[in-house]
Amino acid sequence: VEASIPEPQREAWKRSQTAAFKSSDEFEKEVVRHVETSLARSMFNCDEKAAYSATSLAFRDRLILDWNKTQQRQTYRDSKRVYYFSLEFLMGRALDNAMLNVGMKDTAKAGLADLGFRIEDIIGQEHDAALGNGGLGRLAACFLDSLASLDFPAWGYGLRYRYGIFKQEIIDGYQVEVPDYWLDFNPWEFPRHDVTVDVQFFGSVKKVTNEEGKSVAIWEGGEIVVAVAYDVPIPGYDTPTTNNLRLWSSKASGGEFDFQKFNSGDYESSVAEQQRAETISNVLYPNDNLERGKELRLKQQYFWVAASLYDIVRRFKKSKRAWREFPEQVAIQLNDTHPTLAIVELQRILVDVEGLEWDLAWEIVTGTPQFGYTNHTVLPEALEKWPVGLVQHLLPRHLQIIYDINLFFLQYVEKQFPDDRDILTRVSIIEESQPKMVRMAHLAIVGSHKVNGVAELHSDLIKTTIFKDFVEIFGPDRFTNVTNGITPRRWLHQANPRLSELIASKLGSHEFLKDLSQLNKLELLVQDKEFKKEWAEIKFANKVRLAKYIKETTGVNVNPSALFDVQVKRIHEYKRQQLNIFGVIHRYLTLKAMAPAERKKQLPRVSIFGGKAAPGYWMAKQIIHLINAVGSVVNNDEDIGDLLKVIFLEDYNVSKAEIICPASDISEHISTAGTEASGTSNMKFVLNGGLIIGTCDGANIEITREVGENNIFLFGNLSEDVEDLRHAHTYGSHTIDPDLAKVFEEIQKGTFGSVHDFSAMIAAVKDHGDYYLVSDDFHSYIETHKLVDEAYRNQEEWVVKSITAVARMGFFSSDRCIYEYADGIWNVEPLPRRD
Ligand code: CJB
């Protein structure tokens, strides 16, 4: 309030307000101004990187004007806000997205051309913002796009990692990790050096009696690390609403470094505190579907959660409302268990800082709708647990609060199930193991009013397996499903502009990008010859573009008329890239065994892989190695030629996905049934007119329901049979599929080199119980690929399938997800801006 300009001077302000550029002339002026002033360059010294920087700054200015107005309006209306807490935001590039969302790409294209640049080259200069591992982080990014596009008052909260997910290089067929330093120039963020929060760690807790005779806890000592806010504007599509993604960066509280130590010659320790503090937001943990229990990771979690909650509470307190109204003003979505400490931190703020009684505080914390928790996996190795000793050391007061929450919770359970000791052991927030552990998922369920899975099968599975007891305790209503979705703006309009334009021309407008169900009108056109021709041409052009990229990056020539078969995602045994490459070897052996005349009749195929392995995941790295080893044999085999090519694309990321997704004929989503919570790339491929070969897992099941069984290739065992099969492998006799056995023999003969390296992959199937059911599903997988080949031979029919599938994908827009969350979990309304 103190910083507000007095009424009489406001006219002068209004007269001087910056206006956003509208024409390409105005845009050019902005670009040149940024080149000359922000970058201190000139037309004699402006390369593509500088042109990218200036273009981005011009768009950033535009976004921030809209951002200011959006925030002012939300504050003025005092509207309820949603806060999406996520340790990962896999945003990818921002410029193309910003230009399209504000509807200025054509203007920018003309302006850049005038100034001597091609817009594609300029867009290509941008470094991906890769602050995430895979599906979980990309989902958060799609949700931000939808929240802004649908005018919801919403903020994302995360960490500003100095290093995002590592860059993957393939050297001699092996993955090598290179740090991803992406901040040398990042025009998309606004440092807010005035928005800081002191975050406390370590220390001890003292109980004292206050003046009112009440016993209160005082957390003292330890160290303080400062959180500094960096804001990233998130533009909605076709709306002035521009939301905020606030990322926290850590810095030492005692200034830059210790001058006393520095002056006395103790250089190293003079910067030690600074370095320790900065380490917190230094690097993203590169694990997907795996938790490693490292102290620094817990520090990251608390640092981020404490700063974000402080920020939210500060904002809430300005409104002078009573604490009871907090859940009516604030909805917080916990993206996985990573931010679960927020529940404990809010209880601590209310009890220790605000002086509320425990029970009232807990009512507010667990109020409806306060916290919602999204679960993304049932894999036991991914469920977070923290050693009690570590929590005690780092966050002594929080451990006490966790124990108290657990005590009251277990008392509540005991009342319901008086004679059942086992249930208390099973559901306790504290696992009585050696060492004792805090089970974060249990804490998240106890503290949230809704828990959701991310696809129907997954939401059913959590209710019947890992969280079964909690359904008994809290009733089925605490558990719900929100099937994942993707933003059609990035994954259709941006990645596949020609397809987007073709669809718009047939539907009469671009409205489908905001209401994806409108795609269903395309079904009326499946027999339209001209339309089908254009559709097929666009797919072909996208394949040509990918073939060019493959040539540039791997040196391998691939035939764009071949069937492009793509599997790109994190490398994980449960996602079964090993099944795919074993299938490729089987295809290779089959081709080799054919007489040349017979071979000539076969359908050419390009098997394309991409994805990162966690640096410590040895088996995943062997899978990458095998794919590359098979590629170097097959791609150089003259008997085979174009009939089979095997490509591993280095450093798969969001911007590469934008080239890859529009270019698939078939994509592989072949996880062992019951292991992939949802999957979202399956949706991206189908939305771009590719078909799927997949298991009955995650969202594949709902995709099948929507597109129809004729337009997807399903194979393999069902999730309800997995347990019995695993049991049989261990306790019965386990015979390997004969075709797979031949594949193994070939590998062991040394056809692909390094017999020793690949022996563990084979042993996992043959000797160690084949946990992922590779052998059980192999036959069905191979047979289904034959059906794919057959179907692809009939191009007429294939295009009909492709169009029909796209027409029926409306359900998988992340806009639909956001409406479901808003309605069923957050109880929040959009706040459209009219200007
Ligand atoms: N997921 O990306 C991750 N990381 C994890 O640690 C756990 C789960 C993925 O989340 C996606 C978004 O919900 C899901 O589509 C995907 O199946 C799941 O593996």
* Domain shared by 782 and 734, yes or no: yes
Residue 235 DSSP label: E
Is 823 within a domain?
no
**Which mutation among 289, 697, 702 tests ligand 1's pocket best, with the greatest number of atoms within 8 A of CB?**
289
Specify the pLDDT at position 276.
Answer: 86
* Domain shared by 118 and 133, yes or no: no
- Answer yes or no: are the C-beta atoms of 586 and 742 closer than 8 Å: yes
Is 817 within a domain?
no
Alpha carbon nearest to ligand 1 atom 7, residue? 289
Is 90 exceeded by the pLDDT of residue 572? yes
Is 60 exceeded by the pLDDT of residue 670? yes
Give Dmax (Cα) for the chain: 96
Total domain count, the chain: 3
Is 90 exceeded by the pLDDT of residue 148? yes
* Domain shared by 61 and 166, yes or no: no
pLDDT in tens, 471-495: 999 999 999 999 999 999 999 999 9
pLDDT in tens, 713-760: 999 999 999 999 999 999 988 899 999 999 999 999 999 998 998 999
Specify the pLDDT at position 216.
Answer: 94
Specify the pLDDT at position 796.
Answer: 97
H helices of 10-165, where? 10-16, 24-33, 48-77, 95-101, 105-114, 119-123, 135-149
Measured from the Cα of 677, ligand 1's closest atom is 17
Phi and psi, residue 217, nearest 5°: -95, 135
Which of 432, 458, 483 is the last residue in one of the domains? 483
Q: What is the mean pLDDT of residues 223-233?
A: 97
Is 90 exceeded by the pLDDT of residue 261? no
Q: From CA 579, how far away is CA 162, in angstroms rounded?
A: 36
Alpha carbon nearest to ligand 1 atom 16, residue? 679
Alpha carbon nearest to ligand 1 atom 1, residue? 136
pLDDT in tens, 109-125: 999 999 999 999 999 99
* Domain shared by 52 and 63, yes or no: yes
Q: What is the mean pLDDT of residues 758-766?
A: 97
Measured from the Cα of 374, ligand 1's closest atom is 13
* Domain shared by 577 and 621, yes or no: yes
Q: How far is the CA of 578 from the centre of ligand 1 (A)?
A: 19
Alpha carbon nearest to ligand 1 atom 10, residue? 136
pLDDT in tens, 267-292: 777 778 788 899 999 999 999 999 98
Alpha carbon nearest to ligand 1 atom 3, residue? 136
What integer best gives the mean pLDDT of the chain?
A: 96
**Which mutation among 377, 654, 681 tests ligand 1's pocket best, with the greatest number of atoms within 8 A of CB?**
377
* Residue 826: Cβ within 10 Å count: 25
- Answer yes or no: are the C-beta atoms of 378 and 458 closer than 8 Å: yes
* Domain shared by 518 and 563, yes or no: yes
Is 39 within a domain?
yes
Q: From CA 257, how far away is CA 267, in angstroms rounded?
A: 10
Q: How far is the CA of 193 from the centre of ligand 1 (A)?
A: 34
- Answer yes or no: are the C-beta atoms of 250 and 274 closer than 8 Å: no
- Residue 570's pLDDT band, with cuts at 50, 70 and 90, is very high
Q: How far is the CA of 680 from the centre of ligand 1 (A)?
A: 9
Which residues fall within 8 angstroms of residue 42, CB to CB, at 6 or more apart? 35, 36
Q: What CATH code is carried by the domain that includes residue 227?
A: 3.40.50.2000
Q: How far is the CA of 588 from the centre of ligand 1 (A)?
A: 32
- Residue 1's pLDDT band, with cuts at 50, 70 and 90, is very low
Is 821 within a domain?
no
Is 80 exceeded by the pLDDT of residue 562? yes
Q: How far is the CA of 289 from the centre of ligand 1 (A)?
A: 7
Is 827 within a domain?
no
**pLDDT above 90: percentage of residues in the chain:** 92
Alpha carbon nearest to ligand 1 atom 8, residue? 376
Is 829 within a domain?
no
pLDDT in tens, 389-424: 999 999 999 999 999 999 999 999 999 999 999 999
Measured from the Cα of 454, ligand 1's closest atom is 13
Alpha carbon nearest to ligand 1 atom 15, residue? 679
**Which mutation among 376, 481, 683 tests ligand 1's pocket best, with the greatest number of atoms within 8 A of CB?**
376
* Domain shared by 66 and 82, yes or no: no
- Residue 168's pLDDT band, with cuts at 50, 70 and 90, is very high
* Domain shared by 641 and 744, yes or no: yes
Is 50 exceeded by the pLDDT of residue 28? yes
Is 90 exceeded by the pLDDT of residue 259? no
Is 80 exceeded by the pLDDT of residue 210? yes
Which of 457, 483, 509 is the last residue in one of the domains? 483
Specify the pLDDT at position 2.
Answer: 60
* Cis status, amide bond into 435, omega within 30 of 0: yes
Which residues fall within 8 angstroms of residue 443, CB to CB, at 6 or more apart? 337, 340, 343, 344, 402, 405, 429
Residues annotated as part of the active site? 376, 569-570, 575, 680, 684
Domain of 63? Answer: 1-77+98-127
Is 90 exceeded by the pLDDT of residue 681? yes
* Domain shared by 145 and 134, yes or no: yes
Is 493 within a domain?
yes
Q: How far is the CA of 382 from the centre of ligand 1 (A)?
A: 10
Measured from the Cα of 336, ligand 1's closest atom is 7
Q: What residues are in contact with ligand 1 under a 6 Å CB criterion? A: 133-136, 139, 288-289, 376-377, 382, 454, 484, 676-680, 698
Measured from the Cα of 698, ligand 1's closest atom is 17
* Residue 22: Cβ within 10 Å count: 11
Q: How far is the CA of 678 from the centre of ligand 1 (A)?
A: 7
Measured from the Cα of 376, ligand 1's closest atom is 8
* Domain shared by 72 and 83, yes or no: no
* Domain shared by 45 and 86, yes or no: no
Specify the pLDDT at position 433.
Answer: 97
Is 50 exceeded by the pLDDT of residue 102? yes
**pLDDT above 70: percentage of residues in the chain:** 99
Q: How far is the CA of 679 from the centre of ligand 1 (A)?
A: 7
Which of 434, 464, 483 is the last residue in one of the domains? 483
* Domain shared by 344 and 382, yes or no: yes
Is 613 within a domain?
yes
* Contacts by 315-324, CB closer than 8 A, 24 or more apart: 319/78, 323/350, 323/354, 323/356, 323/360, 323/364, 324/364
Specify the pLDDT at position 732.
Answer: 87
* Contacts by 715-720, CB closer than 8 A, 24 or more apart: 715/670, 715/777, 715/780, 715/781, 715/783, 715/784, 716/670, 716/673, 716/773, 716/776, 716/777, 716/780, 716/781, 717/673, 717/773, 717/776, 717/777, 717/780, 718/673, 719/457, 719/461, 719/673, 719/674
pLDDT in tens, 626-666: 999 999 999 999 999 999 999 999 999 999 999 999 999 99
Enter the pTM of the model.
0.97
